[in-house]
Structure 1
Amino acid sequence: MHAPNPDFAARLEKVVLAMPLAREIGLAFRSITAGAVELEIPYREQLSFRPGQMQATAIFAAADFAAVAAAATLLPPGWANATIDCALKIIGPADGGKLVARGKVVNAGRLLTVSSAEVYSVRDGREALCATALATARNIEPRQ
């Protein structure tokens, strides 16, 4: 995939990490390439619904951020995007020390981009798939 903005990775990281929720949950990018991202969110008791297990909201945030950030890597300079739909399917517990989410673009259009994400629970260095998501992002032109 081709990213029309040569500074897409730096811009994406700056924009996402400026969001209060991203900072609050401890989101960190592990890799950013054209059409794909990998990020992680560490386990914290504030994100759990019982000791040692992350709440669905944290899993959703990991999936949504990964999918829509992947879509953002393909935006022209000055454009932004926002989630307009995201379906999450939890298939296992998020009972590790962190979540790792991998997002990738499925279909990039001018106004809408569809992306997917897989979220893994990482315990002792081993990943276990805990959720999948399909998200649609609205691509927003800069105001003239």
Structure 2
Amino acid sequence: MTTDIGNASDPHLRQLERMVLSMPMARTLGLTFTRITPGEVEVEIPVLDAFCFKPGQLQATAVFAVADFAAVAAAGSLLAPGWINATVDATLKLVAPAQGALLRARGRVLNAGKLLTVCAADVYAVNADGEETLCATLLGTARNVQLPVQA
């Protein structure tokens, strides 16, 4: 459920949210947007046993996925209509265990270019009381692609 979508009337941001949430991996992870504005996105996933390597602690794969979704969605929020993007490179650094009730990732754009956008995300483990602990940070690059014009 989306809770704080900036510029809720902006059809581009709404379409970006729909496109991301239509991806099978996003659905599998239980990804939700909690904030989306031009250049910044916040997403969350629940900590599910299916993604844990030990009870309550997520595998790095799920941590990477939520960070990637946040960073690249932030990059996508700045694209002109008719453009999409995809990850071409990303580095994740784990700094604390990913354990708690959910993971919250805040993505942002560092440099938006015509063909490449450099983006980043910080991932926080959120406990049942809502307290956040930084558990990972990602630096990525998204390739921007113009869709063919349909006649």
Q: Secondary structure at 2:79's aligned position in 1?
A: coil
- Matches of 2:29 and 2:23 in 1, distance apart? 10
Alignment match, 1:116: 120
Distance 1:112 1:15 in 2: 20
Deviation digits for residues 92-144 of structure 1 (CA, Å, limit 9, x no counterpart): 00111100000000000000000010000001210000000001000000113
Structural mapping, 1:1-144, within 5 Å? 6-123=10-127, 124-144=129-149
Q: TM-score, normalised by structure 1?
A: 0.95
Corresponding position of 2:3: none
> How much does 1:8 deviate?
2.2
CA distance in 2, matches of 1:100, 1:140: 28
SS in 1 for 2:80: coil
Aligned residues: 140
The separation in 1 between residues aligned to 2:99 and 2:78, in whole angstroms, is 33
Aligned to 2:5: none
How far is 1:11 from its partner?
Answer: 0.7
For 2:50 and 2:67, locate their aligned partners in 1 and report how far apart those are by CA, in whole Å: 18
Return structure 1 stretches of 4+ with deviation > 6 angstroms.
Answer: none
Superposition deviation, residue 49 in structure 1: 0.6
Q: TM-score when scaled to structure 2?
A: 0.90
Instruction: Give identity over the alignment, percent.
Output: 58
- CA deviation vs aligned residue, 1:4-46 (integer Å, no higher than 9, x gap): xx42220111100100000000000000000000000001001
Cα offset, 1:71, TM superposition: 0.1
Counterpart CA distance in 2 for 1:131 and 1:43 is 15
| Backbone CA RMSD of aligned residues | 1.1
- Partners of 1:83 and 1:109 lie apart in 2 by 14
